[in-house]
Amino acid sequence: MLLSNQKKFLTIDIPKTGTRSLRETLVPLGIIDVIGHPNPNSEIYQHATGKQIEQYLISKNINIKDYFVFSIVRNPWSRFFSHFNYLLKWKEKYENKSDEDDWDENMERQGFESKRLFDTHIKDEKIIQVLANVHQSQYDYLINSKNELMVDFCAKMETLEKDFEFFCKKNEINKKIELKHSNKNNIYNKSYQDFYSNTSKNIIKNHEHKIINLFQYEF
């Protein structure tokens, strides 16, 4: 989550939808007052859901109606393929690290858990099922405690440059800026369409059916 009191906007940052690029672009402008923390147990997590953000705002006596709520969604099959690549990258880092590498506790945990996931589930479709079980659907990030959509504008990662330009104009961010592109993880050397089996394709279809229908996504 990013919150700007000056510009009166906040973002709901769904994992694997370009949110790191969003942070690296907006934070240096000096307009962000609250930055979600990488630790899920912090007061406000960087990937907090809409319901969690709603509770945080209540605790701070902030009226969400005073803010423009922005988020980014992504083709669900592409998004989970990105999750897969991210964990595969950590597995390979963990296997290839040396005693001279300076890894903190979080990096050690990420590497170990990623390696264990791939060692436990040999088939890719099994890993996709695990990821679908662990990660909430994108739709769940966008709703409040009444299960109503709480975003004023939802960009699509597939048209992010154009949608980000609209976001900047809407929030009177007049400085000419370009969205930075960070955290690219495709080391599997396949497109997401070539990656999925019929089984894993349907796992994501069922898991993300609300986003697929709402934004007319196709495989």
Question: Looking at residue 102, what is its pLDDT?
Answer: 84
Q: What is the pLDDT of residue 180?
A: 64
Residue 194 scores a pLDDT above 80 = yes
Q: Give the integer Cα–Cα distance in Å for 34 and 56.
A: 11
- Mean pLDDT score of the chain: 90
59, pLDDT greater than 80: yes
The pLDDT of residue 219: 95
- Cα–Cα distance measured from residue 165 to residue 163, given in angstroms and rounded to the nearest whole number: 5
C-alpha dist (Å) from residue 116 to 38, 109, 201 = 22, 10, 23
Q: Is the pLDDT of residue 52 over 90?
A: yes
Judge whether residue 30 has pLDDT over 70.
yes
Question: What is the per-residue pLDDT for 184?
Answer: 60
> Which tokens belong to 22?
């969003």
Tokens matching residue 6: 């000056």
State the pLDDT at residue 88: 87
**Would the pLDDT of 160 be above 80?**
yes
45: left (phi over 0), alpha (psi -120 to 50) or beta: beta
Model confidence pTM above 0.85: yes
Mean of the pLDDT values across residues 33-53?
A: 95
C-beta pairs of 112-116 under 8 Å, 24+ apart in sequence: 114/87, 114/88, 114/90, 115/90, 115/91
| Position 188 confidence tier, pLDDT thresholds 50, 70, 90 | low
Q: Is the pLDDT of residue 42 over 70?
A: yes
pLDDT band at 54 (very low <50, low <70, confident <90, very high): very high
Name which residue leads in pLDDT, 95 or 76.
Answer: 76
pLDDT at 187 over 60: no
User: How do residues 109-128 score in pLDDT, each as one tens digit?
Assistant: 888 888 888 888 767 888 99
Q: Work out the pLDDT band at 141, boundaries 50, 70, 90.
A: very high
Write a three-state SS string for 56-104: HHHHCCCCHHHCEEEEEECCHHHHHHHHHHHHHHHHHHHHHCCCCCCCC
pLDDT at position 133 is 93
Q: Evaluate if residue 3 carries a pLDDT over 90.
A: yes
